[in-house]
Amino acid sequence: MKPVLQMKDVSVSYAPDTYAVKNVTTDIYPNTITAIMGPSGCGKSTLLRAINRMHDLYTNIKTTGEITLKGNNIFDMNSMEVRRMAGMVFQQPNPFPTMSIYENVLAGYKLNGIRLNKKEKDEIVEQSLQSVALWDEVKDVMSKRGSFLSGGQQQRLCIARTLALKPEILLMDEPTSALDPISTNKIEELLLELKDKFTIIVVTHNMSQAARISDNSMFMYLGELVEHGNTTQMFTKPKNKRTEEYLTGVFG
């Protein structure tokens, strides 16, 4: 099977000679969930944000190396295209407060200037909300603002908003860290269902979450990718000493 995402020597620096991510090289395969773990400040979010070129928004951040998404070098592509192909879900749920729930799901289309007719819109909204198991909860309050929902619902709305654009991969930056255990549980179940259709990379500081949902795990430390492999294997027989120390709670 061909990898959907390949990284070669990816480094990210916030200032000259201070690297948040150093020479990361790895492959991600389709229809898997990959968890990126590591102590805070290890560069896991920074690496994730390099994949959809989020760092382009800040002129002081420089990304080097090669990232290919479905065989295309993302730095040769238009950043707008890259971001649409690599959907992102953030730590804090961020539904757009000026838009209704319905409009939030379609926000990607509106932002990209894609015109849809009413039937297409309804279809996309229902399908997207169904796929995050939010449809039944909100189908009667579609015109309410997104901020009216609970934190967990808001996060699922944000996932639906991302899925509506049919991305190739789904990047999630600690998507449950701002949520309560029940909402967290729902999102985790959701991710396991979504992996049939999407490739998911999820940054998490929660080891048990990584163990529960991921097929593969990456362990990062001080900006470097220390270990990347099958999750079960990594949790039972880590190859690297630092991975073992982190997993056993020596630091982190």
Partner 1 sequence: MKDKIFRFLLFFAALIILLLTAGIIFALVSRSTEAFQEYGIWGFIANPEWDPRPATEEYGALSFIVGTLYTAFFALFLCVPFSLSVALFNGEYFKGKRISSFVRSIVDLLAGIPSIVYGLWGFYAVRPLIIDLGINAQGFGIFLSSIVLAIMIIPYASSLSTEFISMVPNKLKEGAYSLGATQFEVIQNISLPTARSGIVASYILALGRALGETMAVTMLIGNTDRIPKGLRDTGNTMASVIANQFGEADGLKLSSLIAIGLLLFVITALINMIAKLVMKKVASI
Partner 2 sequence: MSLNIKTSIDSRNGKNKLIYILVCLFSFLAMIPLFLILWDVVSKGYKNFNINLFTEVTPSSMDALIANMNGDPIPGGILNGITGSILIVGLAILFSVPIGLFIGIYLSENRDKKFAGLVSYLTDLLQGMPSIVIGIIAYAWVVKPLGGYSALAGSVALTMMMLPMIVRSTEETLKMLPASYKEAGLALGSSYTSVVFNILLPSGFGGIFTGILLAISRVMGETAPLMLTALGASVVNWDVMEPTSALPLLIWDFYNDPNLVELVWSSSLLLLIVIFLLNWIAKIVARKWKV
Report the C-alpha gap between 121 and 109 in whole angstroms: 9
> CB-wise, 87 or 152, nearer to partner 1?
87
Q: To 10 degrees, what angle do helices 181-194 and 151-163 make?
A: 20
CB of 114 to partner 2, least distance (A): 6
> CB-wise, 81 or 137, nearer to partner 2?
81
Binding segment for partner 1 (CB under 8 A), chosen from 61-69, 108-116, 130-138, 208-216, is: 108-116
Q: Which does 233 bind (CB under 5 to 8 A by kind): partner 1, partner 2, none?
A: none
Beta-carbon contacts of residue 156 (< 8 Å; ≥ 6 apart): 132, 133, 134, 186, 187, 190
> CB-wise, 13 or 199, nearer to partner 2?
199
Q: Name which position in 110, 166, 205, 242 contacts partner 2 (CB under 8 A).
A: 166
**Binding flag, residue 97, partner 1 (CB under 8 A):** yes
Exposure of 200 by Cβ count < 10 A (0-12 exposed, 13-18 middle, 19+ buried)?
buried
> CB-wise, 20 or 163, nearer to partner 1?
163
User: Among all chains, which residue has been given the structure tokens 């999630």?
Assistant: 172
CB of 91 to partner 1, least distance (A): 8
**Binding flag, residue 56, partner 2 (CB under 8 A):** no
The answer to whether 65 touches 21, Cβ cutoff 8 Å, is no
Q: Which does 54 bind (CB under 5 to 8 A by kind): partner 1, partner 2, none?
A: partner 1
Q: Which of residues 79-108 bind partner 2 (CB under 8 A)?
A: 80-81, 84-85
Question: Residue 175 carries which side chain, given as an amino acid letter?
Answer: P
**Binding flag, residue 94, partner 1 (CB under 8 A):** yes
**Binding flag, residue 107, partner 1 (CB under 8 A):** yes
CB of 188 to partner 2, least distance (A): 25
Q: Which does 158 bind (CB under 5 to 8 A by kind): partner 1, partner 2, none?
A: partner 1
Binding mask 164-193 for partner 1 (x = CB under 8 A): -x----------------------------
**Binding flag, residue 160, partner 2 (CB under 8 A):** no
Binding site for partner 2 (CB under 8 A): 78, 80-81, 84-85, 112-114, 165-168
Binding site for partner 1 (CB under 8 A): 52, 54, 57, 80-81, 83-84, 87-88, 90, 92, 94, 96-98, 107-108, 110-113, 158, 161-162, 165
